[in-house]
Structure 1
């Protein structure tokens, strides 16, 4: 700040130095003027300037230091004292009010768009249900299988969009209870049955721990995304789902025998929109599923880890907090 202050006052300093040099020059060329008193006056003027500059530095930079160091609302900065500081602050206040109004308008618009999209998704689910009933009446098995697969793709995309809009507000929708894993997992497998049959995928389920403390609806969504991800990259192989106790925590593991994930991609698989670097031309992945999983896990205080080997498959592991930990974290 000192350097900036000197740069700001550079013209004044140059003017002062110029005046002092001019005074000395006149004393030198004019024999009637004694040089010694002039040098004394210049010295006193310089000392006075230095003291004055130190005092003014403290006073003039206080307002701008607040402005530089403030991470909060600039309108909370103490009022300026000089006319120029007041002009700056008035302009900041006006800009802040304008930005707040614009932000409020954008927020209202986004809320309206979100509500409209959620409403549209719910409306679309009605004809989807009707289509499902119509597909069941199709006699040609090959056509029926193809229609079921395409119907499932549409349903999963809509479901993903619905939960994507709900995740920012999911804490308002949580209901934590002891949730039975078996019916929840079997319900999700049944929903994906047509896709699994098409790809020759089976399931090997072994649940040593049958219940976990969580929100059943959001856990179902998380398992749905992980199963969808496993099925997408697996061909003619079983997917293993196991639950067990590890270090006083319940763990749920979903293991596939698909193409696996490259080691350099592992740190990025939960990033928004990330698909793959090894199969970048693959259009099957939207890069949203695992990103939504990561965001849905946070309010539930569930930890996720992944192990993968290229060509051998991938294992996603969910670690649930025990009851005491959950109460300590959430206060529920």
Structure 2
């Protein structure tokens, strides 16, 4: 038991100490003034001393017990810093209160930010989904272009799937099933789901050697690949090409390349920021700036990483690096 804790406890109970000292002094003063025998005075003073010491010891060990309980409770809360061992009760309580206040402030700021993101996203999504719905209504009236109708229906399904994935990202349970998959199988699955976009725009999809495997979640990674394919088709002119291959030096990787319009250098560092559309998004007037952000969040959740490089007018390459353990 550190002496600093004993001294701190004595200082906190200094008024009791002064009361004990004063009472003993008055007792001896009275006995001295009246010339009484000192035996009863010494006996009363000793009794008073033992009583004061007992009360102080009880208060001291009770404070130590409560302080240890407080520190044990703080250690079980992962977001709180550990409390120093030599802290007094008041200081430990103050540190814990400050830590809780900081945590509540950070939690509230995060909740407000998420609420703002959600409001922005659902506003954009509600306007965005109106376009394919209106297009399907017109195509139903004309009844002469099945492929165009299927494309608009696919866009609607994509928007619905995107909002579902957005909701799952914000939930405590993200429904993860981590298994080892062949990367080529995942690429082919995503390519089949977006094939109508390639067909409608007459864009070729070339699959290079993809020998690697990765431990990932099938549903989430196919969602990421669909987003990358959709972006590649959106910003690649008709007759262009999208290629998928692996890095020869890292089989647990994918490289999605296109021959599209590319990304401006000043936009490239910010393309995964929430709601950032960049110059290409403003030109297309259909971008929400959310697809790549969801991809980055999904890959981070799965323990994977993404890197993007692009040359304006020459195309874009997206590098995905997967976990193998």
Q: State the TM-score, normalizing by the size of structure 1.
A: 0.55
Taking structure 1 as reference, are residues 282 and 319 closer, same or farther at Cα in structure 2, changes over 3 Å only? same
Structure-2 separation of matches of 1:261 and 1:283? 15
> Helix, strand or coil for the counterpart of 1:271?
coil
Superposed CA RMSD = 4.3
Structure-2 separation of matches of 1:158 and 1:294? 19
2:166 equivalent in structure 1 = 164
1:272 equivalent in structure 2 = 274
2:249 to 228, 241, 246: 246
Task: Confirm or deny: 8 A CA contact 1:207 1:244 kept in the other structure.
Answer: no
Structure-2 separation of matches of 1:170 and 1:291? 19
1:45 equivalent in structure 2 = none
How many aligned residue pairs are there? 220
Task: Confirm or deny: 8 A CA contact 2:190 2:226 kept in the other structure.
Answer: yes
2:25 equivalent in structure 1 = none
1:289 to 282, 288, 291: 291
Q: State the TM-score, normalizing by the size of structure 2.
A: 0.56
Structure-1 separation of matches of 2:144 and 2:321? 41
1:173 to 167, 172, 175: 175
Task: Confirm or deny: 8 A CA contact 1:171 1:299 kept in the other structure.
Answer: no
Task: Confirm or deny: 8 A CA contact 2:168 2:174 kept in the other structure.
Answer: no
1:182 equivalent in structure 2 = 184
Could you tell me how far 1:244 is from its partner in structure 2?
3.9
Gapped runs of 5+ residues in structure 1? 1-70, 82-88, 118-127, 327-332
1:147 equivalent in structure 2 = 149
Task: Kindly provide the CA deviation profile for residues 36-62 of structure 1, in whole angstroms up to 9, marking residues without a partner as x.
Answer: xxxxxxxxxxxxxxxxxxxxxxxxxxx
Gapped runs of 5+ residues in structure 2? 1-78, 82-86, 123-132
Could you tell me how far 1:173 is from its partner in structure 2?
1.9
